[in-house]
């Protein structure tokens, strides 16, 4: 089983929305590395730290992968901001996994606190200039964050 960190802009899709939806298709990823994590490495049952970017950046909850990657429908929609003219139904470029709500943390584990926590120095999301919206997390890092 693998662990992940899923970044979501709090203004676009906060954890409270996932809580309401119970599950959602993780659409809109337009980065090849992040896509490859979804198509190659994510398995049903994997757990993910749900991270808010934007105001009060940090981990706010836990989600799980509930369905393996399928073509991201937004790439085909002309009206969608994530429309990709190069993608076709026969040859989709972008994929989405389904993500289920697990829990919302009582307290935000802020980016600031994560930076100061011994053992989390290796977390990719803390690396300078990191913009990947999906990053792998070790079991150790996952449980350390959960223990804060």
Partner DNA sequence: GCCAACGTTGGC
Token pair 């929305």 is found at 17
CA distance linking residue 19 with residue 60, whole number of Å: 12
Name the residue nearer to DNA (CB basis): 74 or 133. Answer: 133
* Distance in angstroms (rounded) separating the CA atoms of residues 18 and 50: 10
Contact pick of 22, 89, 129, 147 for DNA (by CB under 7 A): 129
Torsions phi, psi of 91, nearest 5? -130, 75
The residue within the footprint of DNA, chosen from 16, 17, 32, 140 (CB under 7 A), is 32
| Closer residue to DNA, CB minimum distance, 16 or 44 | 16
Does 121 bind DNA (CB under 7 A)? Our answer is no
For residue 89, what are the CA distances in angstroms to 75, 86, 93, 97? 9, 10, 9, 17
**Using rule CB under 7 A, residue 101 touches DNA:** no
Interaction of residue 9 with DNA, rule CB under 7 A: yes
- Residue 117 contacts DNA per CB under 7 A: no
- Answer whether 74's CB lies under 8 Å from 95's CB: no
* Nearest approach, Cβ of residue 129 and DNA (Å): 2
Q: Assess 83 for contact with DNA (CB under 7 A).
A: no
Q: In angstroms, what is the minimal distance from the CB of 63 to DNA?
A: 16
Distance CA 43, CA 104 (A): 22
Residue 84 forms beta bridges with which residues? none
Q: Interface with DNA by CB under 7 A: which residues?
A: 7, 9, 31-32, 53-54, 57, 111-112, 127-133
């Amino acid at each position: 089983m693998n662990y992940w960190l899923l970044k979501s802009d709090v203004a676009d899709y906060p954890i409270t929305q996932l809580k309401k939806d119970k599950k959602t298709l993780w659409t809109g990823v337009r980065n090849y590395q992040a896509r490859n994590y979804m198509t190659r490495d994510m398995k049903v049952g994997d757990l993910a730290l749900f991270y808010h970017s934007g105001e009060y950046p940090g981990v706010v909850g836990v989600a799980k992968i509930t369905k393996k990657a399928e073509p991201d429908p937004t790439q085909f929609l002309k009206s969608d901001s994530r429309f990709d003219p190069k993608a076709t139904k026969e040859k989709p470029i972008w994929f989405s996994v389904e993500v289920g709500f697990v829990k919302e943390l009582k307290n935000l584990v802020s980016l600031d606190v994560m930076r100061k926590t011994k053992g989390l120095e290796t977390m990719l999301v803390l690396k300078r200039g990191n913009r990947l919206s999906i990053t792998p997390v070790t079991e150790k890092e996952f449980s350390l964050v959960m223990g804060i």
